[in-house]
Structure 1
Amino acid sequence: MSPETPEAGFDRDVVVVGGGPAGCSAGVFTARYGLDTLVFDRGNSSLRQCAHLENYLGFPGGIDVETFYALAHDHAEEAGCTIVADMVERVRRPDAVDDPEGGDGTDGAAESDESDGTAESDGS
């Protein structure tokens, strides 16, 4: 496989947009299933607006948000995910056809049961 760059796209079995609790959980399950999983996390999850997590399953005494965030990322990486600290600007299927009316091919113009899409990041 050629090196992944924002310009070339990221060709994986699964691309998860968001590295918070839900995104990391999705990544853990897909990676453990054997799928090549990439998780994009631009680092500003709404979770980080909290000072301390309380009433979260597995942490009856609560947990510091940054500690929880680090644990979630560690778990996802140990399961086999690759985490990219970047923002996704658009997701485009490689077989999508650009719309001559000005669309960008992101609306599922090509019909397929395969989930082989690519994600492009802004590279920042």
Structure 2
Amino acid sequence: MSFGLLSPSRSLELIGTTIISALIVVAMPWSMQAQSTAKQGEITLKSDVQESNSQTGIITAKGNVKINYPARQIQATAAQAQYYSRERRLILTGDVYVIQEGNSMRAETLTYLIDEERFIATPQSDRQVESTYIITNPE
């Protein structure tokens, strides 16, 4: 299987839907010239509450988190998401479900390393991570 533009205050609490394309432009430079940078790296994040701290570079979303990342064909749901812009790392926690190109993964905690396009999933204690992969014929 294969997230700023922040207010001057220390933290900003947002309610509802946020499109984090401005963050992507600032924190995630893309080398592809075919598409605009905003479209290439745009991630839509929906949640009940969102908080962004411009000093730490951490964005936290809580409650009914939904993520859509079209450039990498990733959709995810979780109870909470934290994006660490300096490390370019996204951590999803609480009943995490991720789907990408038909492949899916369920876990209690999932870390997505953006530059490496790599997922690291861990289960609740006494449980397992569950993944479903679509295997295609190479022909």
Q: TM-score range by the shorter chain?
A: under 0.3
**Which structure has the larger Rg over C-alpha atoms?**
1
Tell me the TM-score normalized by structure 2: 0.21
Higher strand share: 2
Tell me the TM-score normalized by structure 1: 0.23
Higher helix share: 1
Where relative contact order (Cα < 8 A, 6+ residues apart) is larger, the structure is 1
